[in-house]
């Protein structure tokens, strides 16, 4: 068994791995000067004791929304004025109560250990905003609250109402909001008043193109790897792959990090396009694993059916037939009917009530949208008209992920509200199948945005 000394003395191309982590906030943000200026302009009034404008920032994942805002707000805080900001990730603080509690606890440390109700927290927060006792004479404060991933707040109308009401209740002082999201559609469900207060000023972050990604990666590589360890071909390919998918800088950095790890494993002196190509496969499988494990049970069973049949086809091809026949079998797409039969068998095996063929077709749509399978309609020449299905990733890897998870062997979701074997998507309106809620979308590029 190796010792820590062995591990620590293993040669590596990295000089600082943290620099390539998605959580690392770079000192210089390339290509975001315009956005930085706009955010600064929006919040600057708070520094001169005026209300700053609410700002709504949107753009695809990995376009630098979070790190840009955090960078601006770090400078805002560094000015040591009586204006204050509070950053809240709404994935964690996903309700009005949690957001108000987080604000109160951040600003008033004595509240840290107490479990006050919403009204008390609101009052205490109001008192704190209304009077900054550290200034002479005491005066009201200007507060900017950053709601990152704001779409995750369950009762957003109520939260926005509470935050804007604070401004009505305050004599001096104010609370302004910066809302950030990568999902625009949630806005449609908002109350018109919430929408207009949240979106007072709007700002779009556009995806990075190949050249921008190339420079972001080159800059990071120079900080994270030994000099000369990263070949230009590696940076160029990682930038091109990412720009061709979503322009997500986080994905590009993941590719570079994984390529470095692969090069270290193989004791290579340089990271080239070959390692980036291999990294792409491995990063995509990781992302697929994340997606698969959050799928509702019936989507997992349909996907398992696809995997089983594909693997059976491959086994059959290996056992008999000529090399040509073998290749033909490995490529053979599955017919929708046979996948449904296998899905039905799996439902019996895992003791789940089988869903109707109409739901099954919706499950196929979901899996296809997530890039886990590909389907084409059969043209003329096939018996009847069927949908031909192929796995989007290695069936053995996907099968392993599904079988290792607890979803298919756990209890059936009682909240799904679907009658087994009966009805279908259209009988219950436009709602989605499975657990009755959409599968959590993956954060990354395997899904069409
Ligand atoms: N302009 C840039 N210059 C350097 N690095 C960047 C830039 N933009 C993004 N990054 C890198 O990409 C990572 C992801 O960016 P960030 O978390 O800000 O994206 P986001 O738009 O908030 O994505 P999401 O919508 O998924 O939350 C950052 O941690 C940073 O390392
Ligand atoms: Mg973000």
| Atom of ligand 1 lying closest to residue 205 CA | 21
Rounded to the nearest whole angstrom, what is the distance from the C-alpha of residue 173 to the centroid of ligand 2? 28
Rounded to the nearest whole angstrom, what is the distance from the C-alpha of residue 68 to the centroid of ligand 1? 8
The number of C-alpha atoms within 13 Å of 319 and in the hemisphere containing its C-beta is 6
Annotation: CATH topology of 33-205: Rossmann fold (3.40.50)
Rounded to the nearest whole angstrom, what is the distance from the C-alpha of residue 148 to the centroid of ligand 2? 7
| Atom of ligand 1 lying closest to residue 67 CA | 18
Class of domain 4-15+209-291: mainly alpha
For residue 445, give the ligand nearest its CA: 1
- Binding pocket residue ranges, ligand 1, CB within 6 Å: 22, 24, 26, 29-32, 59, 61-67, 182, 216, 249-250, 253, 443
CB 241 within 8 A of CB 276: yes
pLDDT value at residue 82: 86
Pocket mutation for ligand 1, best pick of 211, 249, 256 (most atoms within 8 Å of C-beta):
249
Q: Scanning the structure block, which residue is given the tokens 């190949």? A: 210
* Nearest C-alpha neighbor of 392 from the set 367, 366, 362, 361: 367
pLDDT value at residue 438: 39
For residue 63, give the ligand nearest its CA: 1
Residue with CA nearest ligand 1 atom 25: 61
Rounded to the nearest whole angstrom, what is the distance from the C-alpha of residue 402 to the centroid of ligand 1? 31
Pocket mutation for ligand 1, best pick of 21, 250, 449 (most atoms within 8 Å of C-beta):
250
Rounded distance, CA 404 to CA 289, Å?
11
Q: Tell me how far CA of residue 118 lies from CA of 121, 129, 170, 198, 418, in angstroms.
A: 5, 16, 18, 21, 37
Rounded to the nearest whole angstrom, what is the distance from the C-alpha of residue 191 to the centroid of ligand 1? 30
Whether 33-205 shares its CATH topology with 295-428 is answered no
SS3 21: coil
List the pLDDT tens digit at each of the 449 positions of the chain: 888 888 888 889 999 999 998 788 888 899 999 999 999 999 999 999 899 999 999 999 999 999 999 999 999 999 988 899 999 999 899 999 999 999 999 999 888 777 789 999 999 999 999 887 777 777 889 999 999 999 999 999 999 999 998 988 888 899 999 999 998 888 888 899 999 888 889 999 999 999 999 999 999 999 999 999 999 999 999 999 999 988 999 999 999 999 999 999 999 999 999 999 999 988 888 888 888 988 889 999 999 999 999 998 876 665 554 444 344 334 578 999 999 999 999 999 999 999 999 999 999 998 998 889 999 887 655 556 788 999 988 899 899 999 988 888 876 654 443 445 544 554 333 333 333 343 333 333 332 22
CB 297 within 8 A of CB 436: no
Q: What is the pTM of this model?
A: 0.75
Q: What are 226's two structure tokens? A: 């030994």
Q: What are 132's two structure tokens? A: 């900054």
Residue with CA nearest ligand 1 atom 29: 22
Rounded distance, CA 18 to CA 21, Å?
5
Rounded to the nearest whole angstrom, what is the distance from the C-alpha of residue 152 to the centroid of ligand 1? 19
CB 362 within 8 A of CB 434: no
| Atom of ligand 1 lying closest to residue 212 CA | 1
CATH of domain 295-428: 1.10.10.10
Q: What residue ranges do the domains of the chain occupy?
A: 4-15+209-291, 33-205, 295-428
């Amino acid at each position: 068994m190796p010792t820590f000394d062995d591990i620590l003395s293993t040669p590596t191309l990295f000089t600082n791995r943290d620099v390539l982590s998605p959580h690392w906030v770079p000192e210089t943000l390339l290509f975001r000067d315009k956005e930085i200026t706009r955010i600064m302009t929006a919040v600057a009034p708070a520094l001169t004791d005026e209300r700053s404008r609410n700002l709504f920032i949107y753009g695809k994942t990995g376009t630098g929304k979070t790190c840009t805002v955090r960078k601006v707000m770090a400078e805002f805080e560094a000015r040591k004025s009586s204006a204050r900001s509070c950053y809240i990730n709404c994935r964690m603080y996903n309700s009005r109560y949690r957001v108000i509690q987080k604000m109160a606890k951040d600003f008033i440390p004595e509240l840290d250990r107490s479990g006050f109700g919403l009204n008390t927290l609101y009052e205490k927060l109001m008192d704190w905003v209304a009077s900054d006792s550290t200034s002479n004479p005491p005066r009201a404060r200007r507060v900017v609250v950053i709601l990152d991933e704001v779409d995750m707040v369950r009762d957003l109308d109520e939260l926005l109402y509470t935050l804007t009401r604070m401004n009505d209740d305050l004599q001096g002082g104010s609370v302004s909001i910066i809302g950030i999201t990568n999902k625009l559609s949630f806005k449609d469900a908002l109350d018109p008043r919430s929408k207009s207060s949240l979106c007072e000023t709007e700002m779009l972050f556009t995806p990075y193109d190949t050249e921008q990604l190339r420079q972001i990666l080159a800059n990071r590589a120079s900080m994270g790897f030994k000099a000369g360890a990263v070949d230009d071909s590696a940076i160029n390919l990682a930038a091109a792959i990412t720009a061709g998918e979503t322009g997500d800088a986080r994905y590009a950095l993941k590719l570079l990090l994984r390529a470095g790890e692969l090069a270290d494993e193989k004791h290579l002196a340089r990271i080239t396009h070959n390692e980036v190509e291999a990294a792409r496969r491995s990063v995509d499988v990781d992302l697929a694993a994340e997606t698969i494990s959050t799928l509702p049970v019936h989507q997992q069973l349909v996907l398992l059916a696809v995997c089983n049949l594909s693997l059976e086809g491959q086994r059959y091809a290996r056992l008999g037939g000529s090399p040509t026949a073998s290749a033909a079998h490995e490529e053979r797409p599955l017919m929708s009917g046979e996948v449904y039969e296998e899905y039905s068998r799996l439902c019996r095996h895992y003791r789940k009530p089988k869903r109707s063929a109409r739901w099954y077709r919706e499950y196929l749509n979901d899996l296809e949208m997530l890039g886990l399978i590909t389907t084409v309609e059969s043209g003329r020449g096939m018996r009847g008209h069927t949908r031909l299905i192929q796995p989007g990733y290695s069936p053995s890897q996907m099968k392993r992920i599904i079988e290792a998870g607890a979803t298919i062997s756990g209890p059936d979701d009682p909240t799904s509200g679907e009658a087994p074997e009966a009805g279908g998507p259209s009988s219950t309106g436009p709602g989605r199948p499975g657990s009755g809620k959409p599968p959590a979308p993956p954060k990354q590029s395997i899904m069409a945005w």
